[in-house]
Structure 1
Amino acid sequence: MEEQEIETEQTWELRLYIAGKTPKAVTALNNLKRYCEEHLKGKYQIEVIDLLEKPQLAEGDQIFAVPTLVRKVPVPIRKIIGDLSNEEKVLVGLNIRPLT
């Protein structure tokens, strides 16, 4: 029981890779913020990395398409590609909510 409580108090570190302020990138960021506010309120950090400005950062997380969301913490690392418009897929993919 104790271990579970610690995990739920952990701050989620999310990284969103984009390439410019495209409609898809803006949609992905807006969707991500909404999901985080609904499900991780006060327990998340979002870092947006624009690969047009810092292309060298794509290699570290092996980014091959944008937008891509990377969950750094909690481990294991998970990735979701796309504009994040399918809420259920995003929540399951990030393991915010288990499959029912």
Structure 2
Amino acid sequence: MAARSKTTAKKEYKWELRLYIAGNTPKSVTALNNLKRYCEEHLKDLYQIEVIDLLIHPQLAAGDQILAVPTLVRKVPVPIRKIIGDLSNEEKVLVGLNIRPLKN
């Protein structure tokens, strides 16, 4: 299961995020909703979210060394960063991903 933000056209994104989940659990849904909200608020059109359901593709967990779900992996920009959980603490997520909030 993969979801892309805004457009399906081949485009370079400044932020490439991968969210690992295990099925359609409340924690997984919450994590995805929180991630989408933070990205729209702070990254606008500069991001791509790829959702990987480990119940469907368990072999993909090894590549990013996923030990728990949901886990968010920031692939780009480097260095790679990971956050485990439902992403409900916005400040912790922004700091963990090194995202500086956009000024209005």
Same fold (TM over 0.5): yes
Task: Give the TM-score taking structure 2 as reference length.
Answer: 0.84
Q: Residue type of the partner of 1:95?
A: N
Alignment of 1:13-28 (within 5 A): 13-28=16-31
* Aligned counterpart for 2:60 among listed residues 37, 57, 60: 57
Unaligned stretches of 5+ residues in structure 1: 1-8
Residues 10 and 74 in structure 1, CA contact (< 8 A), matched pair in contact too:
no
Q: Cα offset for 1:55?
A: 0.2
Residues 19 and 51 in structure 2, CA contact (< 8 A), matched pair in contact too:
yes
Query: Share of identical aligned residues, percent?
Result: 89
Residues 21 and 70 in structure 2, CA contact (< 8 A), matched pair in contact too:
yes
Q: Residue type of the partner of 1:66?
A: V
Distance 1:97 1:39 in 2: 8
Unaligned stretches of 5+ residues in structure 2: 1-11
Q: Does 1:76 align with 2:79?
A: yes
Alignment: residue pair count: 90
Is the partner of 1:79 in helix, strand or coil? strand
Q: CA RMSD in A?
A: 1.4
Task: Give the TM-score taking structure 1 as reference length.
Answer: 0.87
Distance 2:13 2:51 in 1: 20
Q: Structure 2 vs 1, CA of residues 10 and 53 (structure 1 numbering), >3 Å: closer, same or farther?
A: closer
Residues 13 and 48 in structure 2, CA contact (< 8 A), matched pair in contact too:
no
Residues 16 and 29 in structure 1, CA contact (< 8 A), matched pair in contact too:
yes
More helix by percentage: 1
Specify the structure having the higher radius of gyration (Cα). Answer: 1
